[in-house]
Amino acid sequence: MSALQATITIVLVAVMIGYMVSRKSKDKTITFDRKLDDNYDYIVVGGGSAGSVVAARLSEVKEYRVLLFEAGGHYDENEDIRVPVMWGSLQQTQQDWQYFTEPQKQSFQGLNDNKGYFPRGKVLGGTSCLNAMQYTRGSPFDYDEWKAAGCEGWGYEEVFKYFLKAENVEIDDLKSSPYHSKGGPITNTLGDNMELSDAFLKAGMELGYPITDYNGEDQHGFSKVQKNIKNAVRSSTGFEYIGNAEYKDNLHVSLNSLVTKIDIDNKRAVGVYFIKDGRKHYVKCNKEIVVSGGTVNSPQLLMLSGVGPKDHLTELGIPVHADLPVGKNLQDHQLLFLKSKINKPISINPAVLGSLWNKIMYKYFGTGPYATSALEGSAFLHLDQTKVGKTYPDIQLIFFTYLPRGKNLNIKQHIADEVIESDDDAHGFTIAVCTTRPKSVGRITLRSTDPFDYPKIDPAYYTNNKDVETVLGGIRLSEQLFETEAFKELGANLDGNKYSCCSDYTFRSDEYWKCVIRTLSTTMYHHAGTCRMGARDNPTAVVDPQLRVIGIDGLRVADASILPNITSGNTNTPTIMVGEKVADMIRNGN
């Protein structure tokens, strides 16, 4: 080997080692699971997308002593959490609560027992460790609607600064945009984009749609997906706000700790009971308790603590401290997959992921299919073009660079044989047709007084027929994409969506698609609204605009459950914003 070759080899090895080290976990903040004190100034229940933010920001005040509870473990207990493309494999693991809904009558007709699967993060970082990492804020019209309905301080101009505070944009075209910022904890990048995503954008342009920044002035149009990925690994709140922060002796984190009840004395929250290592413990709170368990866990904990609908709690023998509509207003984006095989080997499939070369490229250089979430394109569209620029869009299309695989959708076997791709070498894509502002509203109730007994989740999908019509409109827009040259060049067609379960109807007729919608639609995993925010005199509100539980002092809720109406698009980024905003309110004495 020549001296030049040896030098080049040494440099390459150094670069590879340096890159690998830069992508490893570097917890600097705290010693996890240290011996807890008897009391704290602030207790945050739930270390997820919002809770990690709240705890980290409060602990920036050195005088505050903060305790963060997380029911799950550390994010490094599952290496797949770090790898963007592996997000689907995280479902039905110990980092997932693995919820299922109650049987549905108007939807889930093709799912086992008519039940939908509701994955939720049970790990430090919560669902920001399980999701597909799409960075989406929602429409400005969403937040202005909140404010108009009595949620003072939550208009778009008022929440916008908190989106900027949390963001670290690494997309070259957006670094100078007034709608983005650098320096925040959560990275926003395009990841390692795939060639196939270009076809989605070209198809949109063929139909006359603009290419846009859906986190900019207006969502309308087609875009490459902005992702929470940093240095080819997931950028989650657990890592960025807790594990990657500077050391703080005033922040304690208790993992694998299930909070079972909030201690309420004379209309004030004064402490919490929790189970850890099979034993029951109690810790006192001097100032405030912030519940950030998420749309399922937060209402469950409140109701177990005597905050909720009086009739429901009385029926279970739970003393009522505040009669509030906890658990109601459950909202979620419905989703229907349209799939197609293609004639070019430019998608992700099991054979691609099994490639030793692709594994090496990711491990040493952070590139290739493992560095992407395979969620590459997004479009926000109006069914009525006269409403563009005047209100939020009706439909979100999400473009996945793979075909449906796996068993996480809970589809009945005889239908799954037609829906799920079995050929590991087959290439293709999937378009998810999603509602943005569903009209159907569900509810979460207690199954029992046992905190380990999962609550009843009834999303009530498609109980309002308007949602079916909206998804049908999204399907019709998607059909237009399949007629573009960009898609035809790939050999794309809709024939793979011809299912025997709806064969009583003519393929692609309204009746056929409506059958498919009610048979195969699933959750988009964007559950929200069960501890609704509103004015204090609003009978549908659980928390006021400062996120204080109405009628109970020293208690707030901060997560997606407080959304009065679900945002237009993926809900993880709005949830992070909620965490940033409530921390500021607390620090400012509001």
Whole-number Cα distances in Å, 176 to 183, 213, 443, 587: 13, 13, 43, 30
In whole angstroms, how large is the CA radius of gyration of the chain?
Answer: 24
Q: What distance in Å separates the CA atoms of residue 73 and residue 77, rounded to the nearest whole number?
A: 7
* Known active-site residue 526: yes
Catalytic residue chosen out of the listed positions 252, 333, 526, 527: 526
Contact 493, 354 (CB under 8 A): no
Residues in the chain: 590
Per-residue tokens: 287: 């100032």
Q: How far apart are the first and last CA of the chain?
A: 69
Per-residue tokens: 372: 């992407």
DSSP 51: H
Phi-psi region at 350: left, alpha or beta (left = phi > 0; alpha = psi -120 to 50): alpha
Q: What is the 3-state secondary structure (H, E, C) of 456-495?
A: EEECCCCCCHHHHHHHHHHHHHHHHHHCCHHHHCCCCCCH
Contact 133, 378 (CB under 8 A): no
Q: What is the 3-state secondary structure (H, E, C) of 103-168?
A: CCCCCCCCEHHHCCEECCECECCHHHHCCCCECCCCCHHHHHHHHHCCCCCCCHHHHHHHHHHHEE
Side chain identity, residue 468:
V
Phi-psi region at 33: left, alpha or beta (left = phi > 0; alpha = psi -120 to 50): left
Tell me which residues are annotated as active site.
Answer: 526
